[in-house]
Amino acid sequence: MPSPKILLTGASGNYGGKVLQFLLKKMEACEIAALARDPKSLAAQAEHGVVIRHGDYTNYESLVSAFTGIETLLLVSAEAFTDRQTQEANAIRAAKAAGVKHILYTSIQKKPGTTDKIPMVTETNDNSEAAIHDSGMQYTILRNSLYAEAISKFIGDIYLDTGIIAMPGGTGRAALASSSDMAEGTANLLLRNQTESATYTIGSSEAFSMTDVASLLSEIHSKKIEYVRISPEEFIEAGSAKGAPKHVLEFVAAWLMAIERGEFSEVTKDLENILGRKPESIRDVLNQT
């Protein structure tokens, strides 16, 4: 039985789990390894033949052991509200020490030349990108957009009663792609025999505004839906009144303000070219959520 040459981190999560499913359609399970802090979380995948390796982003030595023998590593960025910088730095150093040849890292889409910051996200991603560049490993940086499905989560469903979507975002446009399309694109890149390092901006082939979202939802539900721009403070206050945690609301508001400032507005053909087809549109995503 061949030893796995590809290892995925984050395989128990939404994005990493979808990457794994796409890979399993194109290669044998025994050729894939997945990192798990708790191997029980990937028991179902192990039953199908995926090699589960124990490792924790906070434990450098465990990562070196898990990455040994691996040629291509997918490093899914660490979760928000954790010490992301230390965890990702550990993983990058461990990959280098273990002899990983090619690292794919999920960073974040951003406007060219921007100095904009999303708390707990952009600074870590920038630092990790720099560490990967300095590591000497071949790399693929995936500057992923915000998942398009997040828009439905941010909006909630109260608009069906009120006919109003009230949130930040303004006239900002965003080329957000679905997590499924991003995952399929990532799987395709993991299977490529890339000989050079590269950076891709991973988003949809078209951008939309919150007004566009309201118009699409009006069509989907056969009901007039209007978008009204409110300030981040008003958004946080309204959410707090409904019992949502303030720190989560502040985090969501930061993403929405990034949309308003155009951080996700750049339209590229990167994902379309990697997929070999057009990505799902925001209409497709809203119809599914």
Condensed to tens digits (0 to 9), the pLDDT of residues 35-54 reads: 999 999 999 999 999 999 99
Rounded to 10 deg, the angle between the 232-241 and 246-260 helix axes is 150
- What's residue 116's pLDDT? 85
What is the number of residues in the chain?
Answer: 289
CB atoms within 10 A of CB 111: 14
The two three-digit tokens of residue 276, written as one number: 């070999």
Pick among 1.10.287.610, 3.90.25.10, 3.30.2020.10, 3.40.640.10: CATH of 146-178+202-266+276-289 = 3.90.25.10
Identical fold, 6-144 and 146-178+202-266+276-289: no
Q: What percent of the chain has pLDDT over 70?
A: 99
- What is the tens place of the pLDDT at every residue in 269-280? 999 999 999 999
Dihedral angle sign, alpha carbons of residues 180, 184, 186, 187? positive
CA distance linking residue 198 with residue 195, whole number of Å: 9
CATH code assigned to 6-144? 3.40.50.720
Q: Which positions ≥6 away from 110 have C-beta within 8 Å?
A: 116, 122, 143, 263
Lowest mean pLDDT segment, chosen from 1-5, 124-128, 130-134, 228-232? 1-5
- What is the tens place of the pLDDT at every residue in 171-181? 999 999 999 99
The two three-digit tokens of residue 220, written as one number: 């989907």
CB atoms within 10 A of CB 162: 11
Confidence bin at 105 (pLDDT 50/70/90): very high
Q: Is the pLDDT of residue 1 over 70?
A: no
SS3 per-residue string spanning the chain: CCCCCEEECCCCCHHHHHHHHHHHCCCCHHHEEEEECCHHHHHHHHHCCCEEEECECCEHHHHHHHHCCCCEEEECCCCCCCCHHHHHHHHHHHHHHHCCCEEEEEEECCCCCCCCCCCCCHHHHHHHHHHHHHHCCEEEEEEECCCCHHHHHHHCCCHHHHCEEEECCCCCCECCCCHHHHHHHHHHHHHCCCCCCEEEEECCCCCECHHHHHHHHHHHHCCCCEEEECCHHHHHHHHHHCCCCHHHHHHHHHHHHHHHCCCCCCCCCHHHHHHCCCCCCHHHHHHHC
Q: Is the pLDDT of residue 115 over 90?
A: no
Q: Is the pLDDT of residue 81 over 90?
A: no
Overall average pLDDT of the 250-275 stretch: 96
Overall average pLDDT of the 211-236 stretch: 97
Burial class (CB in 10 A: 0-12, 13-18, 19+), 160: exposed
Q: Is the pLDDT of residue 25 over 80?
A: yes
- What is the tens place of the pLDDT at every residue in 129-150? 999 999 999 999 999 999 999 9
Give the start-to-end residue ranges of the domains of the chain. Answer: 6-144, 146-178+202-266+276-289
CA-nearest of 70, 77, 130 to 94 is 70
- What's residue 111's pLDDT? 87
